[in-house]
Chains A and B, each alone.
Chain A
Amino acid sequence: MTTDARAVRGPLEGVRVLTLTQAWSGTFATELLGLLDADVIQVEARRRPDTWRGGYEGAIHEGIRDANRRQRKWNVSPLYNAVNLNKRGITLDLGATEGIEYFRRLVALSDVVVDNFSPRVMGNWGLDFDALSALRPGVIQASLSAYGATGRYRDVPGIGGTIEPMSGMSSLLGYEGGPPLNSGNMYPDPVAGMHMASAILAALHHRDETGEGQYIDLGMMEANATFVGDALVEYTANGRVRPRLGNHHLRISPHNIYAALDEQWLALSADDETQWDALKRVLAWPGLDIPEFGTMAGRKANEERLDAIVGGWVAEQDATDAEQRLLAAGVPAARVRFPIEVLADAHLRAREFPVTVDHPEAGEHVMVGVPWRLSRTPAAVDRSAPMLGQHSLEVMSALLGVTEAEYQDLVARNISGDGPPQ
């Protein structure tokens, strides 16, 4: 993987996205556009780099320390580097008039401007939709915030860990009879981010057709609430508040994650009668051929008994072996992969979903790749996440005609540059 190694361009070739997003949600939205070959220019400030870089102070993670590389802590964060592939990174201090001016000149050359600030911030900088449209007619401004630009919570801060409860997600996540839980890692961020990417592309389609740009206001609370739609409707139509279901399903049984040998876990379900018959053949357990288990409704009604039988079988199994036997028989099954092993999976590798990314400071790592196989204009990973300010000179000289001397002057005044302000 080297810069611009694409043999064939992706579907968003020629689309330029200027983004002020930080952390995960909006950053994920713009990464998706970058994976589809948009030219995504990520703008940070030296005095306020992306929070997911983890700050300027502190030690390099010992797992990646490499005496043969120059390593700066803010360039090697696994969080930042995981969600900023295929972007160019520049620094501009938008607190300085001159920084704003360069930003405005970049807007004039961009199709999309993205931010994840509180609703008032862009306006305070003189960068509201009307101002951006004057600079670039037809521009798409996409603004992502916790609760959206209107309504009584518009100025309330939020992150994935608080949007999860506020969107209804946490109330549904958890073990049966247990408390509400948040996901293992701020699931609402990528959910909102992918919705934002779709909104931008829909707006791009409209601009392609009509020349008209527009303003997109995405509140993470609402974007995530669309993912609890069926549970919400269960309340508005039937008056029932759905309880937490653990690993169970409203209709299907068995449908659970069972303990296997050697501290492994096996997920399995039988979604219809064909799969149930197949499961019975693999388990070869006479206790399953009883009238109570003769229909899906019967199995669901006797779920505890059924779980005890299936769980008893799984407890004696090697999870990898059981997964193979169940899949061969046509039963949905998967050994639970721990994060460290997810990308070693043979099927994912056969599809080239994991990609090896060589980052100049962090080194070589296997990471998640692209979620679409496009037959003619492929999406691809072709850049590691940018180091802070890595492309400042490249972008400003190519797009704005800034000379090396002018750039060094901006660096000296902390308006641009690639490290902590001096």
Chain B
Amino acid sequence: MADAPPGALSGVLVLDLSTRLSGAFCARLMGDLGADVVLAEGPEGHPLRAEPPFLHDVDGPERSLLHAYANLNKRSIDAPLDDPRTSDLIAEADVVLASDAPTVGRVRQHARGDAVLVAVTPHGLTGPRASAPGNDLTAYALSGWAAMNGLQGQPPLKGSANQVGYLAGVIALVGATAALHERRASRQGQEVDVSETEALTLTAGPTLLSAAYEGRSPERHISDVFGGPVPAEDGYVSATFSRAHFWRDAMNALGLEELAEDPRYLDPWSRRKYRAELAPMIEARLVARDRWGLFEHLSLLRCVCGVVLDMRDLDQNEHLQDRGFFVETEQDDAVYRVPGAPFKMSETPWSLRCRAPRLGEHTAELCRGWRPRGDA
């Protein structure tokens, strides 16, 4: 850890008492930014340790890949919540993460007056549903996103795994860092109550206001080139033709000159009136060409086009390699790559300081105090 460059949150002490992905990811992101993060997880271990997938499909407290990803850049102490050692850590922390009301209550007893307490829970700490169970699935249902995702004639669709945990974690980070900024002047802490469902609902804002204008909810997508990815010769591509000149260039590039100049199709909205006849013609050209050839050809024309990358494609993507996006971590006997910096900061670069901790790995050193002796 001594070799890592100082991060933007260098010097901030974060105590992670979370039991959900949202709080754990928020704390991890603070660690990425240079904060000193301690995961106080109790002898049973953080619940993420029990979540699949597991390294080489063998389960066990040190084998969860989700834990390995969400708990990077932390140290671990296996003290339970009601342990005096945990109380001592609470009393030292600048920021404390919690995932439930009882933990919030405990933190309130021991935290400093200038500590920032961040609670990320399924429904928030107040309101009639505050103590109801909730998860990714219910957040998608309640936010309107499940009804927006998916295809017409098929069921509503939640987002892919763990989206709400990641998303609420970043929203919580925004609230926590804003509170840290305010604290400089006031020298006072405060509580930041984040509802996972509200964090997701926030991102539905444009659709919700559009629905209010329309007086009705939008339909789900149709599975065609105007609705999302469609087959190329060797995979899937997603293309957006938008303005008239992009449409014209793209149609010419695809050998559909007769569509390029037809005035009925130049405006994106009027174009959609003809989607039933246009889509099959465009899709027939796309499926005859390879996906990267399409990407390069259309990108050169500044027409917006994307290739559907699966996890193998993503891992091998040359642009991400150019940018040094992936970093290596280790877990048990394995070394593998994980996604790195979500953004690049010129003066306080993101860094992977340490792999996810083994359960209680740092208990002994943390019992001697938050910072090892001699480490200012």
List chain A positions with a Cβ less than 8 A from chain B.
10-13, 15, 24, 32, 36, 61, 63-64, 78-79, 81-83, 129, 147-148, 150-153, 156-159, 161-175, 178-185, 187, 190-191, 194-199, 201-206, 208-209, 212-219, 221-223, 225-238, 240-242, 244-247, 249-251, 255, 257, 259, 265-269, 271, 275, 327, 330-343, 345-348, 350-351, 353, 365-368, 371-377, 379
Q: How far is the CA of A373 from the CA of B171 in the complex (A)?
A: 12
Chain B binding surface SS class: mixed
List chain B positions with a Cβ less than 8 A from chain A.
7-12, 29, 33, 51-53, 55-57, 65-66, 68-70, 122-130, 132-135, 137-138, 140-151, 154-163, 166-167, 170-175, 177-182, 184, 186, 188, 190-195, 197-199, 201-218, 220-221, 223, 227-229, 231, 236-240, 299, 302-315, 318-320, 322-323, 325-326, 331, 334, 336-348
In the complex the two chains form, is B343's CB within 8 Å of A217's CB?
yes
B275 to chain A minimum Cβ distance, whole angstroms, is 15
By a CB distance below 8 angstroms, the chain B residues around A228 are 160, 311, 314, 339
By a CB distance below 8 angstroms, the chain A residues around B334 are 237
Chain A binding surface SS class: mixed
User: Contacts A181-B229, A184-B221 given: A194-B174 contact, CB under 8 Å?
Assistant: yes
Q: How far is the CA of A32 from the CA of B342 in the complex (A)?
A: 18
Complex: chain A residue closest to B318, CB-CB: A152
User: Contacts A156-B299, A205-B181, A332-B137 given: A171-B319 contact, CB under 8 Å?
Assistant: no
Which of A158, A180, A209, A371 is most buried by chain B, counting CB atoms within 10 A of its CB? Answer: A371
In the complex the two chains form, is B347's CB within 8 Å of A214's CB?
yes
By a CB distance below 8 angstroms, the chain A residues around B179 are 11, 374, 377
In the complex the two chains form, is B346's CB within 8 Å of A215's CB?
yes
In the complex the two chains form, is B345's CB within 8 Å of A214's CB?
yes
In the complex the two chains form, is B150's CB within 8 Å of A350's CB?
no
By a CB distance below 8 angstroms, the chain B residues around A196 are 343
In the complex the two chains form, is A185's CB within 8 Å of B311's CB?
no
By a CB distance below 8 angstroms, the chain A residues around B216 are 340
In the complex the two chains form, is B53's CB within 8 Å of A205's CB?
no
In the complex the two chains form, is B141's CB within 8 Å of A267's CB?
yes
In the complex the two chains form, is A230's CB within 8 Å of B158's CB?
no
User: Contacts A227-B167, A340-B215 given: A241-B52 contact, CB under 8 Å?
Assistant: no
In the complex the two chains form, is B194's CB within 8 Å of A371's CB?
yes
Closest 6 CB pairs of A and B: A184-B148, A162-B306, A172-B160, A11-B182, A201-B177, A151-B322
By a CB distance below 8 angstroms, the chain A residues around B124 are 351, 373
User: Contacts A203-B348, A257-B155, A368-B208 given: A190-B126 contact, CB under 8 Å?
Assistant: no
By a CB distance below 8 angstroms, the chain B residues around A230 are 53, 65-66, 69-70, 161-162
User: Contacts A64-B213, A156-B299, A185-B207 given: A148-B123 contact, CB under 8 Å?
Assistant: no
By a CB distance below 8 angstroms, the chain B residues around A237 are 55-56, 65, 68, 331, 334, 336
By a CB distance below 8 angstroms, the chain A residues around B217 are 338-341
In the complex the two chains form, is B213's CB within 8 Å of A225's CB?
no
By a CB distance below 8 angstroms, the chain B residues around A32 are 174
Q: How far is the CA of A175 from the CA of B146 in the complex (A)?
A: 12
In the complex the two chains form, is A327's CB within 8 Å of B305's CB?
no
In the complex the two chains form, is A179's CB within 8 Å of B312's CB?
no
Contact of A372 among B133, B170, B192 (CB under 8 A): B192
A231 to chain B minimum Cβ distance, whole angstroms, is 5
In the complex the two chains form, is B160's CB within 8 Å of A169's CB?
yes
Complex: chain B residue closest to A151, CB-CB: B322
Which of A196, A213, A251, A339 is most buried by chain B, counting CB atoms within 10 A of its CB? Answer: A339
Complex: chain B residue closest to A191, CB-CB: B167
In the complex the two chains form, is A158's CB within 8 Å of B212's CB?
no
